[in-house]
Chain A
């Protein structure tokens, strides 16, 4: 819960309004604003006064505090209104009023403020159609708020005539463990730069859960977009930690710690999360007038549904007909709530007779009811058969494929009635691990869910692949991959065998134990170490001398010692591979690369050695052939260029151009021996170019002085020039290149 306090906001409340607020704390209308502020702050600071103030509230006002507390300290006023209506405790005078009237009342009673920084007394927002105003209550008031109370329904339960569907707490726990373990196995879920879940990771998660993209079948009930639903619910339940730097969602706690909670707590956490989901929807409607896809209204609907279910009497024998229940819910909230926003009640009856007013109101009520039946009725059925059933909170009665009725399960009753915690026995998981499965010689496991503890289910999810789940049993298979995954998560082979054995009704088949040992041995063949500390000596003798002086470590090569965590007590150079390596190479235009300074790292030589040929002086020569060989193997020239750019102070442009052309980047030049007539005087250049006679000897020109002469008519052209009387030199006057042109 967010702990917020009124103190900082109170001075910004209008002087006339603050007098109302002060009344809760013994103030009166004659007080000045500063006196009111002091009176309110003093009251809130005194726990006895707060307790007395809360005790003196009307039941529905107490309910308002209870609902704000349930919502985490902050609530949208439309949602608060719907919640109060669902409890059945809102006084009749408010039922035909918009939520701002209820909010204004609660504000003047000193129970809520708006989170609007500048106007904490602002209880209406014309633009906030999807939810009203964000309001909060002082944490000191909420500390004394209890649980919501309800006007009970007089809804009779009826004997079931159809087929009953129910989920055992163990089956629910198995699914929950499966979801968490799948995410743990994936190392978390990756996010896009915009912060939404990567499509590929959602697909991987679905695959791990063996869920189809569009829906999950839970005992014949369709659950749409299950991956989106539960990922969103886990996020809303604070079971994820979001790492923006790594763009990753990871579990906030190990799976084992979550499953150490009793079933009720697990279910309550997920229930809280699924109520708050925004994008996920139980059923898709074409909503015309909502801006956020109806998220705010779906959240209100889920909250109202939960409150209404809580207000139901215990149905120990029968089931509540769905039609009766939805009618009862409609009568509480239907004229103030829809999934498309609150229905607009007719408010102007100017110049109408009482009979006409009644008729108009009746027509509006019929229309609202008709729309409710088309939309909200279907949503209620979908909510019951998706998350409420998945979490094992309801038992459903089906008749000819239709949802006929329901009742809260034992788990549901206790989850929604925290006041009974410790009074009635919760459906507790097996406190002690006991035999709960049979491991067959073909590596299949049959798990009897009523006997399995959450710890055992977590153990199996971590070390075996679940193949099927039924109401009373789950089937797993031990595979090399699943055992490998389990061992990688930190289990030892002995712990694995002991865990399988302790949960099994019969002794572990010998072939299973043998195979497990073989799989574990395979894991010892290759070891990858992410970040070691390796000491490289100049010679094998130096290494031996170091060991003789007491250096600790494991020899992994004739000059290399793999070090433990402690820093070596020997003078050394340091190369840290977590940081960029220094630019300590030099390269010539011809592709000859050398160390510019040492020490040499263990990356560069091997990497360059793949692209270039070694030279006799410990350098490398890049050649068209050596580069082409790597390109043919699938490498990209950009990898080499990036390497050179990072490790050279200066990459010669000619070498860079050569590398690019070796990689088939096309740059064209033309090279041909040509005959040029240079005309230092522009007049001569212009005359020759403009002469029809001379043009027949020419191929082109380069302004301002050069003319290209046709090779086959050179002699004839020379004679023409002599005929003109020009002094024809045999050699061009060309400026020498002193500086390269600017690039």
Chain B
């Protein structure tokens, strides 16, 4: 790969602390929705799975901020 790749319309999760992301990857209720980890606090979400992930997070007591894009 020499040229950069522009990934468009990609669903993403971003957390304030790397431990939170590790916890979500370790939790079988949320891990099915998490794909490539692109940084310590950022991961790709399964396309089409963002609403389900949001529902799971809320059920687990989180209050995630939901934004359309950056």
Contact = CB atoms under 8 A, between A and B. Distances in A.
A525 B15 contact: yes
A740 interface: no
A556 B4 contact: no
B26 interface: no
Contacts of A480: 63
A564 B47 CA distance: 20
Interface in A182-208: none
Contacts of A546: 4
B4 A570 contact: yes
B5 A557 contact: no
Given A526-B20, A530-B50, A562-B70, A536 B4 contact: yes
Interface string B35-61: 110111110111100100110011000
A603 B5 contact: no
Interface in B1-18: 1-17
B53 to A, nearest CB: 7
Number of contact residues on B: which range applies?
Answer: 35 or more
Given A531-B10, A602-B7, A606-B35, A488 B1 contact: no
B70 A533 contact: yes
A534 interface: yes
A599 B2 CA distance: 10
B69 A573 contact: no
Contacts of A573: 3-6
A515 interface: no
Contacts of B63: 480-481, 484, 519, 522-523, 525-526
A607 interface: yes
Given A525-B16, A526-B15, A527-B13, A554 B7 contact: no
B27 interface: no
Interface string A529-572: 11111111110001000100000011111111011110010111
A537 B6 CA distance: 9
A603 B35 contact: yes
Contacts of A532: 7, 9-12, 69-70
Contacts of A606: 34-36, 44
A215 interface: no
* Candidate in A537, A559, A560 with the most chain B CB atoms within 10 angstroms: A560
A738 interface: no
A82 to B, nearest CB: 48
Interface in A576-600: 576-578, 598-600
B16 A524 contact: yes
Nearest to A553: B70
Contacts of A530: 11, 50, 66-69
Interface string A598-629: 11111101110000000000000000000000
Contacts of A563: 6, 70
Contacts, number: 187
B4 A601 contact: no
A467 B12 CA distance: 36
Contacts of B40: 557
A575 interface: yes
A488 B36 contact: no
A145 to B, nearest CB: 47
Interface residues of A, number: 58
Contacts of A575: 5-8
Given A556-B39, A556-B42, A528 B50 contact: yes
Contacts of A537: 4
Given A523-B63, A525-B15, A574 B6 contact: yes
B20 A536 contact: no
A557 B18 CA distance: 12
A230 B46 CA distance: 37
A602 B13 contact: no
Nearest to A187: B51
B64 A527 contact: yes
Contacts of A555: 39
B10 A554 contact: no
Contacts of A246: none
A424 interface: no
Given A525-B16, A542-B4, A606-B44, A560 B38 contact: yes
A603 B34 CA distance: 10
A568 to B, nearest CB: 6
A253 to B, nearest CB: 21
A729 interface: no
A488 B65 contact: yes
A526 B9 CA distance: 19
Interface in A308-346: none
Contacts of B46: 603, 607
A557 B38 CA distance: 5
A602 B44 contact: yes
Contacts of B10: 531-534, 577, 602
A558 B39 contact: yes
Contacts of B50: 528, 530
A527 B67 contact: yes
19 contacts: A488-B66, A523-B64, A525-B20, A526-B20, A528-B12, A529-B14, A529-B67, A533-B6, A533-B69, A536-B5, A557-B40, A563-B6, A564-B70, A572-B5, A573-B6, A578-B8, A598-B1, A606-B34, A607-B35
Given A481-B63, A529-B12, 18 more contacts: A523-B63, A525-B63, A525-B64, A527-B15, A528-B13, A528-B45, A528-B65, A529-B11, A529-B68, A546-B4, A555-B39, A557-B39, A562-B12, A570-B4, A572-B5, A573-B5, A577-B7, A605-B36
A-B residue pairs, 7 tightest by C-beta: A557-B39, A606-B35, A578-B9, A526-B64, A557-B38, A484-B63, A531-B9
Interface of A: 480-481, 484, 487-488, 519, 522-538, 542, 546, 553-560, 562-565, 568, 570-578, 598-603, 605-607, 633, 635
